[in-house]
Amino acid sequence: MEKKIVLIGAGSTSFGPSMFSDLYQSEVLNGSTVVLNDIDKEKLDIIYELLSIENEKANNKFELQKTLNRKEALKDADFIISSIEVGDRMKLWWQDYTIPREYGSTQILGECGGPGGTFHAFRIIPPIIDIVKDVEKICPKAFFINFSNPMSRVCLAIKRAVDINFIGLCHQIHFLEIHLPRMLNIKLENLRMTVAGLNHFGFLLDLKDLRTNKSLMLEFNEKAMNYFKKYEDPFEFSTLTFEVYKRFGYFPHPGDNHLGEYLQFGEEFTTTQDMINWINRTDKFNVGIYKKVLRYHKRLKEGRYPRKGMLYKVPSGERAIPIIEAIIKNENSYEPSVNIPNNGLIENLPQDLVVEVPVRVNKEGVNGVKLGKIPKNIAALLRIEATIQDLCVEAILKKSKKLAIASLAIDLNVGSFERAEKIYSKMSEIQKGYLPNFK
């Protein structure tokens, strides 16, 4: 079916071969127009040239376009997939991680939570708001998919700034999807997970065998601790996950490194070196993707582009293209973990919040599964982080220095106005030009 799909930030490693591979494996989207948009002309040209040769290999499956002009790209768009970053992502991430810790913060990663996550939000939300305001004005009926972190804060800002159809997607649930079939000896397609929470801060609340419609939670709880200790991994499920599971009774699915960003006791059950190793691993992974792209581009220019091409032949596991297909085909499919506005889905969390919950996908779009009230102890944990996100986003939208510092001070991994002011002052100095003009 011919649609117009716009990829904003098309030169980003977040897209890379995986997203483009999913696109080219889609039969539903044959004949569609795919528009590549980025602010970096060099990267945009490289991706366009590589996808042009891939498009030829696929018998010109798509009408492929590129443009630096976002407004031009958005005209008549049906679907928009956005994955942008601001500045040198890894250089800024190291600053987000190290500077707050120098002033006494106990944050463990600094990507989506803690003071590092707050500064990440300060930088990236303003340009994303500019993008979605263009969407609201130019193609208000288009469906917008965000991949940029910090996911919950970005999506909350979108919710408050504009009136468009949007979701946020993250692949963190994939960890659990890998392990459950092994643990229970049941194929993934026969399992139905109910997870709920915030992005990188979600919990498995129910698990069913679709063949019998019976709950598997008793079996899961009997096997989980022994199983995950056998496959313990500091980048996935380890000491912190086990402690939270033991104390709260529900299994957190994001993995130690992300889960710990939102907890005051995160540092107690993780090691500094593991967090440093994770940031380095992420950097190495992103550099590897970009080097692969450059390598294939060089071979293209030399006239020896590989016959098999650059793209993968199997689905990447990312859910953007399957969700677009489900909307077009009216599949009423089930997705276990999508970021959408709360609006009554979880009754005992703030309604003006973006939550990560199961959804149904059909021609009406993406509709959250109503969960009612989740366990009180889990809701209590989530409300603490929700309060921080609320104030962080409000500070950005109002350009308020007072609120910005307050959002840092109330963070569990900062805990004082004196410390917050020192962190804010230093970060404003070294990240000047990337942060909003707070007044």
Instruction: Tell me what pLDDT residue 365 has.
Output: 96
CA angle, 116 as apex, 113 and 119 as ends, to 5°? 105
Q: What is the largest CA-CA distance in the chain?
A: 62
Instruction: Tell me what pLDDT residue 164 has.
Output: 98
Instruction: Tell me what pLDDT residue 232 has.
Output: 96
Instruction: Tell me what pLDDT residue 34 has.
Output: 97
Instruction: Tell me what pLDDT residue 218 has.
Output: 98
Instruction: Tell me what pLDDT residue 13 has.
Output: 74
Is 171 annotated as catalytic? yes
**Which residue in 171, 174, 200, 253 is the catalytic one?**
171
Helix 89-102 vs helix 114-138: angle between axes, to the nearest 10 degrees? 140
Instruction: Tell me what pLDDT residue 282 has.
Output: 94
Please tell me the distance from the alpha carbon of residue 38 to that of residue 297, in angstroms, as a whole number: 18
Over the chain (439 residues), the average pLDDT of each successive run of 10 is: 94 81 94 97 95 95 97 98 96 98 96 98 98 98 98 98 98 94 97 98 98 97 98 95 98 96 96 96 92 95 95 92 98 97 98 97 97 98 97 98 98 96 98 95
